[in-house]
Chains A and B, each alone.
Chain A
């Protein structure tokens, strides 16, 4: 009996090698996160690392190439570049984060209000957003700074923050219009939820994933904007140390062939931006 029939279902399966389990760090920008964390940590604790006072104009040691005393050399005003990098990094990163926070806040407000407002107000707000988008942001920042008066860290970050929200506001508006149709929003309204309550409890968790990436990228573009502005002499003045304002001396340094003045702030800027971009890309992939 047994040799004539074959039991079909219970066949011996060939041994399949278990697929190697993915390590926790695979597909994650661990290297860049650690690098950024290190830069951040050292910038925050720059008092411990700095070998010189970043503001001290050592006029006897102008344009000194990197050596044992001045690790990264000194700039045209005789300041120690190594110390300035860490101190300036703190300022640059601070401006990046603050302006990203400002623009995300404005974007959430404008986007959500515009999506929930009556049609005419929506049209007006969107037109306003488009105009903000169409003015070259450089000019806009310039104007805003003029309104704020003196250039300080806060005024620069406020100015950059107030120009960078338009694209994000458009995305938020589209997302909120999608979310607004959900019945749980209607239910919340029936229970007496105010606009702010619904925004906080229902809209914000809904559009947060799509905003996260943009918010991180906003930090990046704010740091970039600050350095570009300061380089052009429109942002922070030379006396206030940031990566951008350090580079504003670079144009003169080119003529005298002092590569270190140009090189070090730029490389730190680039590496930081690269880390932020990588982390941002990971966030976009994940959500």
Chain B
């Protein structure tokens, strides 16, 4: 199960045209795989194309080149979840998300299986909706019958999963703190029981103590629900703590992919080396022993 590939990104490129006769390659021939039940981290400085990759995977952008193949494999345990029409769809084994035709054919299934968490929780939750409505929205769209009786009970269950209690159900996003809002976004994503969860810098806009809480939550949820997790960040410590494997992006190119431990202990690419060296070391004496300083 662990070695089975879920998402295969092949030579993905995306260009932006900010002005006439001007071309910016935001993502340049990036290839990587995400296995089932794995936490994959993408790091890089701002503007290196991390978010663009996430948006391409989620079909928010149409990439200008390359393939993103989504393997559906055996999802028999979800049989009760979809209606009969979708069962036929699930027979397809691999779907190229970048092919508009293929995407449209499997749209409903794909949209349920991939979920995204955005960086800024204040703008990714509609300020005019109550938390209950926000969490119930995907279930309403996908016409999923609530397993726990009502949509409200379902929302409360998933909120509990994300570490919040039911008292926030009737509140508006603006009444919650940043960490709480991000938990709501997580609950909304989880409520769809995704196979792939993409988190686009989910902790960047949070306080340090809350960051730790959220990361622990991610670890725990991942263990519990077993989804594959694409974690995008520019905080190396977080990536080191959370991820099984890490890809390093530099100016739109993927310069290195390696298991997390290996990458930070033994970086190959010069950019990765500087990155690894720039991780703040918590203790003064440790810092002296390090050879970079």
| A/B touching: CB–CB < 8 A | yes
Interface residues, chain A, with chain B CB atoms under 8 Å away? 182-184, 186-194, 197, 201-202, 205-206
Q: How far is the CA of A183 from the CA of B123 in the complex (A)?
A: 5
CB-based contact A202/B126 at 8 Å: yes
Residues of A within 8 A of B188 (CB): 187
B128 adjacent to chain A (CB < 8 Å): yes
Once A183-B118, A183-B120 are accepted as A-B contacts, the answer to whether A190 and B111 lie under 8 Å apart by CB is: yes
Closest A residue, CB atoms, query B121? A183
Whether B60 contacts A192 by the Cβ 8 Å rule is: no
Select A187's contact among B59, B108, B116, beta carbons within 8 Å: B116
Q: Which of B71-79, B136-144, B209-217, B268-276 contacts A (4 or more CB under 8 A)?
A: B136-144
Would B124 and A184 count as touching, CB distance under 8 A? yes
Indicate if B112 sits at the interface (CB-CB under 8 A).
Answer: yes
**B111's closest neighbor in chain A, by CB?**
A192
Contact of A190 among B108, B115, B120, B128 (CB under 8 A): B115
Which A residues are in CB contact (< 8 Å) with B118?
183, 186-187
B60 A186 Cβ-Cβ under 8 A: yes
Q: Identify which of A186, A192, A206 contacts B142 (C-beta below 8 A).
A: A192
29 interchain pairs, CB-CB under 8 A: A182-B123, A182-B126, A183-B118, A184-B123, A184-B124, A184-B125, A184-B126, A187-B116, A187-B118, A187-B124, A188-B141, A190-B58, A190-B59, A190-B111, A191-B111, A191-B138, A191-B141, A191-B142, A191-B192, A192-B107, A192-B111, A192-B142, A193-B137, A193-B141, A194-B141, A201-B137, A202-B126, A205-B126, A206-B128
B125 contacts across to A, CB distance below 8 A:
184
Name A191's closest neighbour in chain B (CB-CB).
Answer: B138
Q: Are A205 and B128 in contact (CB under 8 A)?
A: yes
A-B contact count (CB 8 A): 54
- Looking at A182, A190, A197, the one whose CB has the most chain B CB atoms below 10 A away is A190
Is the beta-carbon distance between A192 and B128 smaller than 8 angstroms? no
Bound-complex Cα distance A202 to B126 (A): 7
- Report the nearest B residue to A206, measured CB to CB: B128
Q: How near does chain B come to A148, taking the closest CB pair, in angstroms?
A: 39
B129 to chain A, nearest CB (A): 8
Q: How far is the CA of A186 from the CA of B114 in the complex (A)?
A: 14
Asked if B124 contacts A192 (CB within 8 A), the reply is no
Q: Which residue of A lies closest to B173 (CB)?
A: A184
Knowing A190-B60, A206-B128, say if A197 contacts B123 (CB, 8 Å).
no
Q: How far is the CB of B268 from chain A (nearest CB, A)?
A: 35
Query: What residues of chain B have their CB less than 8 Å away from a CB belonging to chain A?
Result: 58-60, 107-108, 111-112, 114-116, 118, 120, 123-126, 128-129, 137-138, 141-142, 185, 188, 192
**A182: B residues at CB distance < 8 A:** 123, 126
B60–A191 CB distance below 8 A: no
Instruction: Give 19 A-B pairs besides A188-B137, A190-B115 with Cβ atoms closer than 8 angstroms.
Output: A182-B123, A182-B126, A183-B118, A183-B123, A184-B124, A184-B126, A186-B118, A187-B185, A187-B188, A189-B60, A190-B60, A190-B116, A192-B111, A192-B112, A192-B138, A192-B141, A197-B141, A201-B126, A201-B129
In whole angstroms, what is the CA distance A182 to B173 when docked? Answer: 14
Shortest CB–CB separation between residue B224 and chain A, in angstroms?
22
Tell me the complex Cα distance, A201–B134, Å.
Answer: 10
CB-defined contacts of A206 to chain B, threshold 8 Å: 128
A205 to chain B, nearest CB (A): 5
Please name all residues of chain A whose beta carbon is closer than 8 Å to the beta carbon of B142 when the two chains form the complex: 191-192
A-B CB proximity, top 10 nearest: A192-B111, A191-B138, A183-B124, A184-B126, A183-B123, A205-B128, A183-B118, A193-B141, A192-B141, A187-B124
- Residues of chain A within 8 A of B115, CB atoms compared: 190-191
Interface centre among B59, B112, B114, B126, by most chain A C-beta atoms within 10 angstroms, is B126
Report the minimum CB–CB distance from B229 to chain A (whole Å). Answer: 16
Query: Complex Cα distance A5/B212, Å?
Result: 49
Residues of A within 8 A of B60 (CB): 186, 189-190
CB of B286, distance to nearest CB on chain A (Å): 39
B residues within 8 A CB of A186?
Answer: 60, 118, 124
Q: How far is the CB of A263 from chain B (nearest CB, A)?
A: 47
Within the complex, the shortest CB–CB distance from A286 to chain B, in Å, comes to 16
| Closest chain B residue, CB of each to CB of A201 | B137
Closest residue of chain B to A187, judged by CB?
B124
Contact partners of A205 in chain B: CB under 8 A: 126, 128-129
Would A191 and B108 count as touching, CB distance under 8 A? no
Cβ–Cβ contact A192 & B116, under 8 A: no
Report the nearest A residue to B58, measured CB to CB. A190
Chain A residue nearest to B133 (CB atoms) is A201
- Residues of chain A lying within 8 A (CB to CB) of residue B120: 183
